[in-house]
Amino acid sequence: MKIYYYRWLLLSILLLLAVLPFMGLAFFAHPYFDDYDVANNATAMGPFASQWHWYQTWSGRIVTIFLDTMLNPLFWGKLGESGSHVLAGLRAILLLVMLAQIVALQQFFRVLLRLLTPVSGADRDRRQLEWLLALLLTALGLNAMPEPFSFLYWYSATFVYQLAWVFTLGFTTAALRASELPPGPQRRRWAGGPGSAWGWPLAAASPLCCCAR
């Protein structure tokens, strides 16, 4: 039993070591290109008027541009007097999106493994496997990227790429969860009915996050 436990522990540590360097580099991220452009337009026009401007002149990525504007530390602060706070906010958002991606993968594998292995006695092993698979897929994906900058460290682009990936995983998780539930209110909530915590917001956000042009 101890050997089995140490194998899980060693594998978890190795996968964390493969992912943590990418997360650590977020502490050195700086604003770039669109980050300034979005913040400047929001300052000049107002955060809501700028949404219509971007929609008419640039892109139909409604969810991405809205979140990019409203969460943009450059919009709420200036790199002059409070530059360190602006950078800290930007880096914190990048880290949170990375963590959201790992959690979204874990939730996806939780539902998938529950469908594939419906035996309740293996719950503990299944929980460990969920996190291991999430970390493994994250580690493989990040280390296979020829250029991870745009995906991970460019503030505006991380909403386009990572957030769309998180929303898509969330929608797929909600759909799988709904498929395993018996007909009733709980199934309707997961499938996207009124009061749904996952379904309809993710269904709406996913295509509007990165696909609309």
Helical packing angle, 199-210 and 62-70, nearest 10°: 90
| Residues 209 and 167 sit within 8 Å (Cβ to Cβ) | yes
The dihedral built from the CA positions of residue 23, 167, 65 and 61, taken in this order, carries a sign that is positive
What's the pLDDT tens digit per position in 9-47?
788 888 989 999 999 999 998 888 888 888 888 888 888
d(CA 66, CA 202): 15
What's the pLDDT tens digit per position in 80-134?
555 678 888 899 999 999 999 999 999 999 888 888 876 655 566 778 888 999 9
- Single-letter amino acid code for the residue at 50: S
pTM of the complete model beyond 0.85? no
Residue 154 belongs to what domain range?
Answer: 2-210
| Residues 47 and 70 sit within 8 Å (Cβ to Cβ) | yes
Counting every residue, how long is the chain?
Answer: 213
- Single-letter amino acid code for the residue at 124: R
- Single-letter amino acid code for the residue at 162: Q
C-alpha 18: how far from chain center? 19
